Amino acid sequence: MKQTVYDLSAKGKKVYIRVDYNVPMNEKGGILDDRRIRATLPTLEFLLKQGASLILASHMGRPKGSFVPSLSLRPAAERLSALIGRPVKMAPDCIGDETDRMKEELQAGDILMLENLRFHSGEEKNDPAFAEALIRGCGLAVNDAFGVSHRAHASIVGVGRIMPMAAGLLLKKEMDFLGAAMDQPERPFAAVIGGAKISDKIHVIANLMEKADVILIGGGMANTFVAAGGYDMGSSLLDRDRLDLARDLMKRAEKMGVRMLLPVDFVAADQFSEKAKVRIFQAKDFSDPWMALDIGPKTIKIYVETLKKMKTIVWNGPMGVFEMKPFSKGTYAIAEAMASIQAVTIIGGGESAAVVDQLHLADRFTHVSTGGGASLEMLEGMILPGISVLAEKRDDAQ
């Protein structure tokens, strides 16, 4: 079992915390969505109550080792200050003499935000010297950045190899639900998998077949499965070189006794546009130039009725092109159905998390993951570098 902040004695300590404040920004430098910042508040407040001082490290965007003013973490520091109700000091860099001096001056209850980690190439290269510089002057280390825990970067893996690292409360929650709950789900257990391409989710589907009772397929990848069954999907998006793979997955599901549900009808358009002509098609009725852009009303009814019987549901990936209003009904219906079901409901990050935020439903789910790529890799059954590097729990606290 991995160590968490509950196992630390943080009083009087300077605690290095890797957070994920890579939040979406507008052109004027304003934060569009602060969910990732808010998600770390329980960890920060827990350590502050113990009498610690906090040194926060994060990346923003992809500056590729160069200083890019528009990718500064200053707006994140300002938003955190407003959310947590105390000043957040801003370091000029994430390493260096001036930053070290600011660390030394920290008193209990103080918070220091380091500047963008990716302004230095050593972060993505997992440079040990860079990791050493990051935690200089720190007594404890915490990883609360699930969204980048699938990356073997210096601020997480490099630090964890130098100093024992504990999981923050956000990372603990992700491990509890995407890890432990996936291994021992309350049954029946359904996985709802959407998105554009089967190639993006093949490992997720294969892993979930070992665990789920029902798999519901939507999005562009559903077109490939339906086409693999011998149907002409017109101008719909297809992974044409994955048709054999789709057939193999369907056969494997049948052998394992896992129900794999595919759409029986689609919302189709004559062009990829919000202003396109729209029709409802069954798979056998498709022809050019029509393309499937959402699951149809019969499919929505079947999927929702199936989900109502479940005790655990994991959802990753939209059912259609939800960004366009005519093709959003399938995705929204899944979100609304899951929000109203008495079950363990887990959103696996990415676009699915964006949808439930957009519909203001996030607080009606058991867990909404903060990581897109990281949650996908956990659903694939992979062990993330940022989790494997965590210190093992022991009887004596630090």
Name residue 268's beta-bridge partners: 279, 292
Regarding pTM above 0.85, the answer is yes
Strand partners, 4: 167
Q: Is residue 388 part of a domain?
A: no
> Which tokens is 92 given?
């000029």
| Catalytic residue flag (residue 350) | yes
Return the bridge partners of 2, or none.
392
Each residue's pLDDT tens digit in the chain (398 positions)?
899 999 999 999 999 999 999 999 988 889 998 989 999 999 999 999 999 999 999 999 999 999 999 999 999 999 999 999 999 999 999 999 999 999 999 999 999 999 999 999 999 999 999 999 999 999 999 999 999 999 999 999 999 999 999 999 999 999 998 886 778 899 999 999 998 888 888 889 999 999 999 999 999 999 999 999 999 999 998 888 999 999 999 999 999 999 999 999 999 999 999 999 999 999 888 888 999 999 999 999 999 999 999 999 999 999 999 999 999 999 999 999 999 999 999 998 788 998 998 899 999 999 999 888 888 888 888 889 999 999 998 765 44
Q: Which residues share a beta bridge with 295?
A: 266
For residues 265 and 97, give the distance between their C-alpha atoms in angstroms, rounded to a whole number: 63
* Same-domain status, 158 and 297: no
**What does the alpha-carbon distance between residue 237 and residue 285 come to, in Å, rounded to a whole number?**
16
Q: How many domains does the chain have?
A: 2
Same domain, 268 and 244: yes
pLDDT computed for residue 198 by the predictor: 82
SS3 312: strand
pLDDT at 159: 98
Residues 112 and 191 in one domain: no
Phi-psi domain of 317 (left: phi exceeds 0; alpha: psi -120 through 50; beta: other): left
Same domain, 277 and 349: yes
119 plus 150 within the same structural domain? yes
What does the pLDDT read at residue 397? 47
Choice among 35, 74, 89, 197 that is catalytic: 197
What pLDDT sits at residue 395? 62
Does one domain contain both 211 and 337? yes
Is residue 74 part of the annotated active site? The answer reads no
Q: Does 247 qualify as catalytic in the annotation? A: no
Q: Note whether residue 322 is domain-resident.
A: yes
Give 333's contacts (C-beta < 8 A, 6+ positions apart): 300, 303, 304, 319
Alpha-carbon gap, residue 212 to 370, rounded angstroms: 22
In a domain, 239, yes or no: yes
Give 173-179's long-range contacts (Cβ < 8 A, gap of 24+): 173/367, 174/146, 174/367, 174/369, 174/370, 174/371, 174/374, 174/375, 174/378, 175/2, 175/387, 177/344, 177/346, 177/366, 177/367, 177/369, 178/346, 178/348, 178/367, 178/369, 178/375, 178/378, 178/379, 179/378
Structure tokens at 119: 């302004």
Q: What does the alpha-carbon distance between residue 177 and residue 70 come to, in Å, rounded to a whole number? A: 35
- 178 within domain boundaries: no
Of 18, 36, 103, 242, the catalytic one is 36
Q: Is 274 part of a structural domain of the chain?
A: yes
For 210, counting Cβ atoms within 10 Å of its Cβ (0-12 exposed, 13-18 middle, 19+ buried), the class is exposed
Q: What CATH number does residue 57 fall under? A: 3.40.50.1260
Could you tell me if residue 393 is inside a domain? no
With CA atoms as reference, report the closest residue to 375 among 354, 356, 347.
Answer: 347
Which residues sit opposite 281 in a β-bridge? 266
Is 373 marked active-site?
yes
For 58, the domain range is 5-172
Q: CA angle, 313 as apex, 308 and 315 as ends, to 5°?
A: 115
Q: Which entry of 350, 371, 372, 386 is annotated as an active-site residue?
A: 350
Q: Tell me: do 58 and 196 sit in the same domain.
A: no
- Residue 134's identity, in one-letter code, is L
Structural domain ending residue among the three candidates 139, 172, 205: 172
Reading the block at residue 224, the tokens are 């490939």
Stated length of the chain: 398
